[in-house]
Copies of this chain bind each other. A is one copy, B any other.
Amino acid sequence: MTWTLSQRAQKLTSSAIREILKVTERPDVISFAGGLPSPATFPVTQLQQACNEILTTEPTPALQYGPTEGYMPLREWIAVHHSKRCGIPIGADQVLVTTGSQQGLDLLAKVLIDTGSKVLVETPTYLGALQAFSLAEPRYCSVPSDDAGLIPASLTAEMCQEARFLYCLPNFQNPSGRRLPLERRQQLAEITARAGLLLIEDDPYGDLYYQGEPLPGLLSMNPGGVVYLGSFSKVLAPGLRVGYLIAPPALQRKLVQAKQAADLHTPSFTQRMVHTTIKDGFLDSHLPQVRALYAAQCQAMLQALQKHFPPTVQWNRPEGGMFIWVQLPAHIDSGELLEAAIQQHVAFVPGAPFYANEPQSNTLRLSFVTVPPAKIEAGIARLGALLAMRSLPRQ
């Protein structure tokens, strides 16, 4: 028999990245495509202790249905952690635990987007956000960006008018690896506050800075006008699917209602695994190790790029996170390059799917966190050879 799909479902397509990842799961492929954290950072011993502690001391609530808002001690930990970081009071009543921060995007789409609503995004932006928002069928408006990220001065009154929100990743953005400078953060917070425009601050990579201190977040600059999305996927383990959002209380309550219909609540068990592991300061000793590992991996890739990529190709030098963004000469299509690369057993993600409007097909994303340095050099060398062939003056 046949059935009638909803209009939104008819427009649904699988993520291009997902399809690439299937090809590149073969062990003979050097893949810079994935956005997976390094398994070397998973605190297996601590998580195993947490499981045993939970199932010994409080098995019933850990295995029973729980509140939609999340496990209260975890919500309180999150509130205290961000209160300290932001230097402003944040209540546990502003926190909603989500099934990964991807779910936060889905809930925001449900609660804030009508068909045709204007939504502002960065150029490029996180593909998973486009997928989540698109189910509510918004009209995207891409805010101009440069190598330092979103350009606040480009936010005209007309652009802000009637927009439901502006979605951005100020820290080590996926896909570009860019970190928004302090001055731009201040300008962005000011302009959007004046325009009455809600900011969605997506921050899965904020803890992964390589040196110095983190930059102040947008939430600290306009607590009443920002929804903050956080995640334990990059600092503990993504397979637990524990993320969260912090929102003004009235908006948090609407998001709770939407979450109730979506999955009742995030697993009681994995929420407790996270809380039991982090509650006594584990992240203070754990995060410096993750940062050092990723900084070294990033350095290895930057050196390989310098050595093997032709001078016509440009890339950034990330200050944190998991990604490097590459700009090829305008005539090279990264989708075509990927096909050739896969023949050479190397993979990356083409940049085009990360653009809400006017895709730039001469861009690509490289992840450096899961491939060991020796293989990073081998993979980049192969890509460099392919690029060198394509960069020759045309005959």
Closest B residue to A9 by CB, please name it: B111
Query: A225 to chain B: which residues have CB within 8 Å?
Result: 1
Query: A392 to chain B: which residues have CB within 8 Å?
Result: none
Known: A13-B257, A65-B36, A267-B241. A196 touches B2 (CB 8 A): yes
Q: Quick check: is A254 within 8 A (CB to CB) of the other chain? A: yes
Known: A12-B258, A128-B264, A239-B62. A6 touches B111 (CB 8 A): yes
Q: Is the CB of B47 within 8 A of A63?
A: yes
Query: A56 to chain B: which residues have CB within 8 Å?
Result: 48
Query: A114 to chain B: which residues have CB within 8 Å?
Result: 6-8
Q: Is the CB of A239 within 8 A of B51?
A: no
Q: Is the CB of B12 within 8 A of A165?
A: no
Q: Is the CB of B263 within 8 A of A135?
A: no
Query: A270 to chain B: which residues have CB within 8 Å?
Result: 267, 269-270
Interface residues of A in 9-62 (CB under 8 A from B): 9, 12-15, 18, 35-37, 39, 42, 44, 47-48, 51-52, 55-56, 59-62
Query: A258 to chain B: which residues have CB within 8 Å?
Result: 9, 12, 135
Q: Is the CB of B36 within 8 A of A64?
A: yes
Q: Is the CB of B42 within 8 A of A261?
A: no
What are the interface flags for A329-341 relative to B under an 8 Å C-beta threshold, 1 for contact and 0 otherwise? 0000000000000
Q: Quick check: is A237 within 8 A (CB to CB) of the other chain? A: yes
Interface residues of A in 239-270 (CB under 8 A from B): 239-241, 251, 254, 256-258, 260-270
Q: Is the CB of B18 within 8 A of A239?
A: no
Shortest Cβ distance from residue A183 to the other chain B in the assembled complex, whole angstroms: 22
Shortest Cβ distance from residue A62 to the other chain B in the assembled complex, whole angstroms: 6
Closest B residue to A47 by CB, please name it: B55
Shortest Cβ distance from residue A191 to the other chain B in the assembled complex, whole angstroms: 13
Main secondary structure of the interface of A (DSSP, over half): helix
Query: A198 to chain B: which residues have CB within 8 Å?
Result: 1, 3
Closest B residue to A103 by CB, please name it: B263
Choice from B2, B64, B131 contacting A260 with Cβ under 8 Å? B131
Q: Is the CB of B1 within 8 A of A239?
A: no
Choice from B9, B35, B65 contacting A254 with Cβ under 8 Å? B9
Query: A165 to chain B: which residues have CB within 8 Å?
Result: 3
Cα distance, A299 to B18, chains bound together (Å) = 52
Q: Is the CB of A110 within 8 A of B131?
A: no
Cα distance, A150 to B225, chains bound together (Å) = 48
User: How many residues of chain A are within 8 Å of chain B by beta carbon?
Assistant: 84
Q: Quick check: is A5 within 8 A (CB to CB) of the other chain? A: yes
Query: A193 to chain B: which residues have CB within 8 Å?
Result: 1
Q: Quick check: is A4 within 8 A (CB to CB) of the other chain? A: yes
A contacts, CB < 8 Å to B: 1-9, 12-15, 18, 35-37, 39, 42, 44, 47-48, 51-52, 55-56, 59-66, 68, 98-100, 102-103, 105-106, 110-114, 117, 128, 131-132, 134-136, 164-165, 193, 196, 198, 224-225, 233, 237-241, 251, 254, 256-258, 260-270, 273
Query: A44 to chain B: which residues have CB within 8 Å?
Result: 55, 59, 63
Q: Is the CB of B262 within 8 A of A102?
A: yes
Q: Is the CB of B6 within 8 A of A136?
A: yes
Cα distance, A117 to B4, chains bound together (Å) = 10
Q: Could you list 13 A-B pairs, sorted by A, with CB under 8 Å?
A: A6-B110, A9-B111, A36-B65, A42-B60, A44-B63, A48-B55, A52-B52, A99-B267, A103-B263, A128-B261, A132-B261, A263-B263, A269-B270
9 residue pairs, one from A and one from B, having the closest CB atoms: A239-B268, A63-B237, A51-B51, A131-B261, A9-B111, A63-B239, A241-B267, A39-B60, A99-B263
